[in-house]
Amino acid sequence: MGAPLSRRDFLRGRSPAEGKIVLPGFLGGRPEVCSACSLCLERCPTEIIVMDDGVPHLDFSRGECSFCGECRTHCPHAADFFAGPVSLPHVVEIGGGCLARHGIDCQACRDHCPTTAIRFRPRLGGPFLPEIQEDACSGCGACISVCPVGAVSVKAAKELSDA
């Protein structure tokens, strides 16, 4: 039996493994190669790697990716799983539940963004509104766990270009 399907994934029509955030430089879900040894989980300094059906994924509700490459360095199957730079092909997306969009002053996401990709635009009669500088966003997830209402998520860059 696979991992339970979250309500969000169900409503978006995704399978349990689909839409998960892969490790930096990870080639994607190839469970036939991964031995689920958990070395990547053990070596991650920010402890954001989780296993789902034997495939490692990032859980930004636990913190951010520092792009240290420890997951790649200690993976016994690195040659099969990883390629290219230690980076993530994702950008941040701020949803409609954002407090600032509901008249409540909050800039927690901006305060925790290491690349200053989140900026707040002034507006009359209310708190500043968030704007994402997609070219500056590394997809690290630093802003996700600090959002008090869970309005921040990441979205694959290819999904953004398809929109």
At 25-45, the pLDDT tens digits run: 776 555 556 788 899 999 999
Residue 2 domain-assigned? no
Domain boundary among 42, 59, 81: 81
Asked whether residue 47 falls in the same domain as residue 102, the answer is no
Asked whether residue 76 falls in the same domain as residue 102, the answer is no
Domain boundary among 48, 81, 114: 81
Asked whether residue 98 falls in the same domain as residue 48, the answer is no
Asked whether residue 99 falls in the same domain as residue 59, the answer is no
pLDDT score, position 3:
42
Identity of residue 68: C
Inter-residue contact 74 to 43 (CB < 8 Å): yes
Number of domains in the chain: 2
Tell me the H-state helices in 13-100. Answer: 39-43, 70-74, 78-81
At 159, the pLDDT band (50, 70, 90 cuts) reads very low
Q: Which strand (E) or helix (H) includes residue 57?
A: strand 55-58
Who has greater pLDDT, 72 or 147?
147
Q: Is the pLDDT of residue 142 over 90?
A: yes
Residue 1 domain-assigned? no
Asked whether residue 153 falls in the same domain as residue 101, the answer is yes
Separation between Cα atoms, residue 163 and residue 160, nearest integer Å: 5
CA nearest to 66, candidates 34, 88, 81, 84: 88
Q: Which domain holds residue 57?
A: 7-81
Q: Is the pLDDT of residue 16 over 70?
A: no
Tell me how far the alpha carbon of residue 46 is from its chain's centroid: 13
Tell me the H-state helices in the chain. Answer: 7-12, 39-43, 70-74, 78-81, 108-112, 157-162
Asked whether residue 77 falls in the same domain as residue 96, the answer is no
Asked whether residue 59 falls in the same domain as residue 99, the answer is no
Q: Write out pLDDT tens, residues 97-133.
A: 999 999 999 999 999 999 999 999 998 888 999 999 9
Inter-residue contact 118 to 130 (CB < 8 Å): yes
CA nearest to 139, candidates 156, 160, 161, 121: 156
At 18, the pLDDT band (50, 70, 90 cuts) reads low
Q: Domain holding 99: CATH number?
A: 3.30.70.20
Domain boundary among 50, 81, 112: 81
Separation between Cα atoms, residue 87 and residue 127, nearest integer Å: 33
